[in-house]
Amino acid sequence: MSCQTSIPGIHPSLDLHLTVPYPLDKQFKRSIKSGGKDIVRPRAPGLWAHAWHLDVRLYTMVMLDPDVPDEETSSFTTYLHWMKPNIPVSALTMPRGLITSSLLNSHTRYVPPHPQKGTPYHRYTVLLLPQPAKSEYSMNTEARFLKEMEKHRVESEILHKRVDEMKTKISESASSTEKSQPTSLLTQSNTTGLPLDLSKPTSWPLSLLKKYTTSQWLDIPVVPDSHRRGFNLRSFVREWGFGTRGEPATENRDLGGTGFGGGTSGQTLAGLRAQINRGKGLGTAHKDMVVVGGGAHMFREVWDETVSGVFEASLNGEEEKYALPKKEDRYEGLRGVRKYV
């Protein structure tokens, strides 16, 4: 998919859907008080990311509006509504693929859609971008991951067994020296020795999440409100290695495997696309930026009465309004003049 020139090409490898509270007319729109009056604004949605890989990979969520009017250029620019990096996703996540709004809102805060009055519909685009891999993704990636998980489970059980034995000895002895012995062991059991639930990777401690996920952890800074307008997604994708940069057709290759998240696969983009699309193929290569993998979801909205509340409550500014320039009336000077004399 591509929205004007703001969003790179996306060849998804997972299904992405938005979830909102039901019923929409009562729960999706939340009323708050501001200046003695009620302001109604939409609530942050959740995401369903249906992946097919068993290992836990990290993704970055971006919500963008590419249809914001730009008066200076008489064209359109972008607006960043939401961002959250380092989201763990796996086919084993339960409930299947659910990513809550509380997790998504822990980085660059959510600003509700606010299509300006007088503009056509806006195409709000939500992307789940695959982060670079720690090493090249291959057919053995999932097997290695599950082996590491089993190894951690065994080590965790052994560690907790040792802790229980030490606690028993302490309870049977009043010696202060013996009381201090298991301190480091208890600390280890409370950090690296915690059991990991594959169905809930979002509950993993940060240290273990960085250690066992097959993707690189990215320390992406929070985007300030002043930099939301005009957010360059293509530069962002290139800077953090989410996708591949367009090259001439003769050298249109996966640069370091970053399309799948890293490594040095050396496959052509056409080959990667065919792999993602089950061998269907996607035609000729082009010189555009392409993100291979991840997910994409788009919805459209037009102006309604809630937009005023968004500008007042979330943007702390006056609502933007636009109108088409008045057409010149070529017959204005002839009105009232008799046609025939």
In the chain, where are the structural domains located? Answer: 9-137+214-313, 141-203
pLDDT tens digits, 65-107: 999 988 888 888 999 999 999 999 988 887 777 888 888 888 9
Which spans in 263-318 are helix H? 269-276, 306-313
Count CB neighbours of 91 within 10 A: 17
Instruction: Residue 245: count other Cβ atoms within 10 Å of its Cβ.
Output: 15
Q: Is-contact 305 25, C-beta < 8 A?
A: no
* Highest mean pLDDT (candidates 21-35, 266-280, 295-309): 295-309
132: Cβ contacts below 8 Å, ≥ 6 apart: 215, 216, 218, 240, 241, 242, 258, 261, 262
Q: 9-11 and 290-292: which strand pairing? A: parallel
Q: What local confidence, expressed as pLDDT, does residue 254 receive?
A: 36
Q: Where are the beta strands (DSSP E) in the chain?
A: 9-11, 15-19, 29-34, 37-42, 46-50, 57-70, 75-89, 98-99, 122-130, 290-292, 295-301
Q: Which residue has the higher pLDDT, 157 or 121?
A: 121
Task: Pull the structure tokens for residue 192.
Answer: 């690296």
More confident residue, 108 or 213: 108
SS3 330: coil
- By the 8 A CB rule, do 274 and 282 touch? yes
Band (160; pLDDT cuts 50, 70, 90): low
Q: pLDDT: is 189 or 99 the higher one?
A: 99
Multiple choice CATH, 9-137+214-313, 2.40.160.20, 1.10.472.10, 3.90.280.10, 3.90.1150.10 = 3.90.280.10
Q: Residue 273: its pLDDT value, please?
A: 46
The pTM assigned to this predicted structure is 0.69
| 191-197 contact pairs (CB < 8 A, 24+) | 193/155, 193/156, 193/159, 193/160, 193/163, 194/156, 195/153, 195/156, 196/149, 196/152, 196/153, 196/156
